[in-house]
Chains A and B, each alone.
Chain A
Amino acid sequence: MRRVGLITTNILSRIAVGYAIAGLALVLPILTLADLGEADKGEEIYFQHCAGCHGEEGDGLGPGAERLLPPPRDFTSGMFKIMTTAFDEYVPRDEDLFKMVSDGMPGTSMPGWSDLLSDQDMWNVLSYLKIFSGYDEEEPGPELAYGEQIPSSAISIGKGKELYLEDDRCTECHGLEGKGDAKKRLLGDNSERTWPRNLTKPWNFLGGNDPREIFARISTGIPGTQMPSFADEASTKKLSIEERWHVANYVKSLEKTVEVVDPQNTVVKAVLVEGDVAETTDDPRWQESQPSTFFLVPQIIAEERQFTPSYDTITVRAMYSEEYIAVLLTWDDRTKSIPGDATAEKISEEGLAEDGVAIQFPVTIPDSMEKPYFGMGDVANPVNIWHWKSGTTDLPETVSLMNAKGFAEIILRESPDVHATGTYLNGTWRVLFKRKIATENPGEDIQFSEGVFIPVVFAAWDGSAAENGSRHTMTTWYWLLLESSSVWEPILAGLIAMLLVIAVEFWWLRNIKRKQLAD
């Protein structure tokens, strides 16, 4: 029921944002925006709500900044990422700034403030923060030219795809399938690491994912990053207005709805297959298997901690046979991190490590609500951890089996009977784990059984983001269910019950008849 509450607040906040936008639309034609705010009133609000991250000097160096990626905007730089101005204009339009404050930026820790601050408060704070870049004394640039919007269609998407691929125009950074698997290392204006957007996850687009918003990013670029303007006359990759609409429509079409997290779905359902389970990550039977996608969170409980992860979700599929269980894990990763590999070293952060993924089960499936602590178990409740690593140029991929009773007590098991193999293609890792349903060490290994809800945790390491050891992303407890194969039992039980009731009814009727005859 807590989840219900969460959804309600989400809806409420959406309604609030909706009203804010509607309110803005009403106000816009009447007033000149620059006159709306009062900087001295905005100062107080800025210090109460904004300075923690953006800094008292507006330089983006507040105490919160260190653990954020992307980092908070440095207002003194005069660069604003999300703009709808014409090419080569640096002063953002007031509407652009207002939208950032009011709606926030998806996928970053910048929240929308419209539920806490009034429109007037937000205009006041904008008037104040413009002073940091000197934009309080400059005129905003003119709005970019949208031309006539081309509605999305198969033809438009097809044209957009051609333009996307042509001369490596977009693929250089966003990858062949739009996963953001760049061929080069990208930096922001304060030489911080930036990652190209994964276009298959539009809910993470900083400036929104409406085709019109995508068109604006393509046209104006994203100042302060290496995303250029494709309206730049001097660029060899320049696109006309019409072409930009086609690309926007194509980008919008890349969304992978299959892998959207459904908070109601907390169970990985393994189906029983005839014969053997899948041995490879591209076995066609995986296509029929129902995927469950979970959020990954950075591990901030035990040192070394990870505050700036690059992974956000992991998708899980499973199947089992009489003898084996197979689990397929897939997740988007912009980089194939192979230590020793020249390309991987070039793209990586300092300290390139192997990519990796792990599955954790309790050694004993609990029969009550109590489970091992989700972070590697606890003294009373040990866990099994299956850990796959992608390998280096010298070493092949590896899989290890650990038994843990918390972070401090980890035993590496010899000759693990867990098998794993991984493949990487166009920004996606696919890793398959396989183990016997039952092993010879019931005291040390989980024994899988049908129809039981088995707690499971997933963890993943992006070696190019210097994730290694305890620096990784993970989930809390979810469930794995080996779907029961006995379809006949319930049907049989139902039929027997029915026949019994009918027998009783006949007996009763007969008794009544006899009694009536006797009378």
Chain B
Amino acid sequence: MRKIPRLFQMIGIILLIYFSFIVLFDYLLDQVIPSSLLRMYMFFIIAGVVAVFTFTEGSTEELLAPIMEMMENPEKRKVRNAVLTVMPILVGAYLYSQMVPSVEAPVELRSIHPAPPSSVKLFGKRYNLQTLVNPLRKYEKDDPEKFRELVREGARVYIENCHICHGDKLDGQGLYAVRLNPTPLNFRDVGTIAQLQESYLFWRISTGGPGLPDEAAPWISSMPVWQDFLTEEEIWQVILFLYDYTGHRPRTWEE
């Protein structure tokens, strides 16, 4: 088998890693990788790969052999002249493209489900979110009739306050949903309330957008601070309704 020149091996490895990142993030994880992050990763990867390929003097020589061959061998003059013409054009064009001011809005990444604080002040009282449970959840077993009544109350709270954004179907497609950025959460999705504890929802509903930690960009969230408009009981009721209507179960510590 003919050996692939080490130069092309090196370029091949770098390209392989580059495309692996794109496949992994953009396609497998469905999270488009920001170009600035990708640039940073690639800087270290290229540095590392080059270091490995130039570990000894011999290996450096071997690596550069095809380049030296092209430059020095008079038979390869045509290839050399072509490369020497294209190189400055590429460099000039790249620098130009980098310096032309962008009219694309900056990409801003925010965490959708940020880690909750361990304790938080809600309704003028201090709550430990680690231990807080929905005080109405117990009726699901103890008194199913009362539980149905509480869910109905939660439905009323929802239809009075929440559906214009989160939708009649709890699918995040309410009347004003398309007008908002970030868009309202889809509670039917398995990635939202199904992954969370009821205490987390209690915290998110009570303190709304302004109660988010910085990594979740509180300055753009349109979620109102519902402790200003609803009672504690109403919030626990609407949480019962969210799980009941979608058929999801809240996460608990026992799991």
Contact = CB atoms under 8 A, between A and B. Distances in A.
Interface of A: 1-6, 9, 13, 49, 52-53, 62-64, 66-67, 108-111, 113, 115-116, 263, 266-267, 269, 295-298, 300-301, 303, 307, 312, 369-374, 378, 381, 451, 453, 476-477, 479, 481, 483-484, 489-491, 493-495, 497-499, 501-502, 505, 508-509, 512, 516
Contacts of B210: 373, 378
B72 interface: yes
Given A6-B183, A493-B95, A370 B225 contact: no
Given A66-B160, A371-B219, A477-B220, A483 B103 contact: yes
Interface stretch (B12-20, B169-177, B196-204, B231-239): B169-177
Nearest first, the 7 closest Cβ-Cβ pairs linking A and B are A295-B179, A494-B96, A498-B92, A52-B159, A490-B99, A64-B159, A501-B88
B175 A108 contact: yes
A296 B183 contact: no
Contacts, number: 150
Interface residues of B, number: 57
B219 A374 contact: yes
Contact of B103 (A267, A502, A505): A267
A417 B41 CA distance: 48
Nearest to A451: B101
B89 interface: yes
Nearest to A486: B101
Contacts of B160: 63-64, 66-67
A307 B164 contact: yes
B78 to A, nearest CB: 15
A494 B173 CA distance: 48
A62 B96 contact: no
Contacts of A67: 160, 164
Contacts of A4: 32
A1 B31 contact: yes
Nearest to B109: A369
A369 B214 CA distance: 10
B220 A374 contact: yes
B88 A372 contact: no
B143 to A, nearest CB: 21
A369 B220 CA distance: 11
Given A64-B160, A267-B105, A489-B99, 16 more contacts: A1-B31, A2-B112, A2-B182, A9-B173, A49-B169, A52-B168, A62-B159, A64-B163, A301-B222, A369-B108, A373-B210, A374-B220, A477-B219, A481-B103, A512-B72, A516-B72
